[in-house]
Amino acid sequence: MTLSLRALTKAYAGRLALADVDALLPAGAYVCLMGASGSGKTTLLRIVAGLERQDRGSVLLDGRPLDGLPAERRPVHTLFQDYALFPHLSAADNVAFAPRLLGVRGPELTARVRALLADVGLDMSFETRKPAAMSGGEQQRLALARALAGEPRWLLLDEPLAALDRPLRAGLRRLLRDVTRRRGLGCLHVTHDPEEALALADRLLVFGGGSLLAAGAPAELYAAPPSLTVARLLGEVTPEPGGDGWLRPEHLRLEPPAGRPRAPQDMSPGTYPIGHAPPSMSSETPRVSNRPPGETAAVDLSGDLSLGPATAASPHDLPFETADRPAARAVGTVRAVACLGDRWEVEVEIGGRVHLSRIPDAPACEPGQPVALAWDRRRVLRFAAPDA
Ligand SMILES: Nc1ncnc2c1ncn2[C@@H]1O[C@H](COP(=O)(O)OP(=O)(O)OP(=O)(O)O)[C@@H](O)[C@H]1O
């Protein structure tokens, strides 16, 4: 069932919480709602659920307005962060609750409950357990089984994984994706976690100050966000060295400042047009620039750039500039190196600004050493939209 939001507007005590929100969400879509705290995501979810009444606008399912329907008669189910399970009922009875209301009884009910529990990875030993005797992750699985039991057309999820630790979150995220896709069930899922949103969503709605700032496919919004606010909500950004754009840290690669160990006077800080390395530099060393060929270096690289051994190893190839691969390069000083588990983060200072580079392997450079940053100029993010 297609879910349409038309000019949804809601104010609390004269302050707009939602302002003219329009969206057309196809049946079976997994839609993630992102935005800063207080941007109106929960308000929108509650209006769709029928738990809150909008001041203006309409919610429609397959073109039929839901606005007059009370919450319990809407074909939607809300999954809350705190699970909201019936504490006095066993897991099986929690799941059986909605089918019983629909008149399902006897062996059919038992079979349906078992199938739902199995679907969310809870075996028969859980049937008689009450929620208090289950872990947080198990309770969230049970809450999902109970939600599915009512056969809603849209599942509304308000930070459903926020209370769980990281490994549990990843497992439940995959479970959510699998069970909802298998059923063709539409989801409206509020999250603050860009990884969660990017992994789950077919479509992303990004909110700021009650307005819809951006809507689209997650990978496209990540690659070409319309504003800095949207870019930051989807992941970290770092300033373009010597420019006025921004880059994702994983697009700033580390390279040795030169191709071989050099004496301090051998290396001048700056960016250089291709083939125009400073005279003191080795002619063997490939040089790329963040400026068009012919334009001279303009980056102010202050700070101590005296060289130690140029051992900073890059796991990547040098980004030679070609017609279809315009590359740029700048030299700075390593400020800090941190292991993030599955990748490494290096802070590089150039002209008083700090740039973040994230790379898959441990860098062979240390704070205080010179290092070069290289990037593909097509990756530079520039924003037309004013920032929210
Ligand atoms: N019942 C209420 N009474 C008064 N103001 C409210 C009420 N509910 C929400 N608001 C206000 O409406 C705005 C939007 O709130 P909402 O809870 O929808 O934001 P959110 O994006 O879900 O935030 P968070 O990510 O922190 O949960 C906020 O400024 C909030 O203070």
Mutate-to-test residue for ligand 1 from 10, 18, 21, 42, highest number of ligand atoms within 8 A of CB: 42
Residue with the larger pLDDT of the pair 58 and 291: 58
pLDDT band with cut points at 50, 70 and 90 for residue 240: very high
ipTM: 0.97
Q: Same domain, yes or no, for 263 and 201? A: no
Q: Same domain, yes or no, for 149 and 204? A: yes
Q: Same domain, yes or no, for 226 and 257? A: no
Q: φ and ψ at 375, to 5 degrees?
A: -155, 160
Ligand 1, atom 25, lies closest to the CA of 37
Which ligand 1 atom sits closest to the C-alpha of 210? 14
- pLDDT score of 40 more than 50: yes
> Helical H runs in the chain?
41-49, 91-101, 106-119, 136-149, 166-183, 194-200, 218-223, 228-233
Q: Same domain, yes or no, for 225 and 244? A: no
pLDDT at site 69: 94
pLDDT at site 153: 93
Greatest mean pLDDT range, 172-176, 272-276, 353-357: 353-357
Ligand 1 centroid – CA 128 distance (Å):
38
> Nearest 5°: CA angle at 251, between 247 and 254?
115
Can you tell me the distance from the alpha carbon of 185 to that of 155, in angstroms, rounded to the nearest whole number? Answer: 7
pLDDT band with cut points at 50, 70 and 90 for residue 324: low
- Give the mean pLDDT of 330-343: 95
Of 172, 201, 233, the one marking the end of a domain is: 233
pLDDT at site 81: 75
The closest alpha carbon to 38, from 194, 208, 189, belongs to: 208
pLDDT band with cut points at 50, 70 and 90 for residue 386: low
386 within some domain: no
70 within some domain: yes
Task: Give pTM, 2 decimals.
Answer: 0.80
Q: Which position has the token pair 């990547």? A: 316
209 in contact with ligand 1, CB cutoff 6 A: no
- pLDDT score of 322 more than 70: no
State the average pLDDT for the chain: 83
Q: What percent of the chain has pLDDT over 70?
A: 82
Residue with the larger pLDDT of the pair 341 and 307: 341
Residue with the larger pLDDT of the pair 61 and 83: 61
Give the residue numbers spanning the domain of 53: 3-233
Ligand 1 centroid – CA 11 distance (Å):
10
Ligand 1 centroid – CA 2 distance (Å):
26
Q: Same domain, yes or no, for 182 and 165? A: yes
Can you tell me the distance from the alpha carbon of 61 to that of 14, in angstroms, rounded to the nearest whole number? Answer: 29
37 in contact with ligand 1, CB cutoff 6 A: yes
Q: Same domain, yes or no, for 325 and 258? A: yes
- pLDDT score of 201 more than 90: yes
pLDDT at site 388: 53
> 227 forms bridges with which residues in the sheet?
none
33 in contact with ligand 1, CB cutoff 6 A: no
247 in contact with ligand 1, CB cutoff 6 A: no
Greatest mean pLDDT range, 259-263, 266-270, 319-323: 319-323
- pLDDT score of 10 more than 90: yes
Q: Same domain, yes or no, for 259 and 351? A: yes
Q: Same domain, yes or no, for 181 and 202? A: yes
pLDDT at site 177: 92
Into how many domains does the chain fold?
2
pLDDT digit string (tens) for 305-321?
222 223 333 333 344 45
pLDDT at site 321: 53
22 within some domain: yes
Residue with the larger pLDDT of the pair 385 and 86: 86
Ligand 1, atom 24, lies closest to the CA of 37
pLDDT at site 254: 94
Of 206, 233, 260, the one marking the end of a domain is: 233
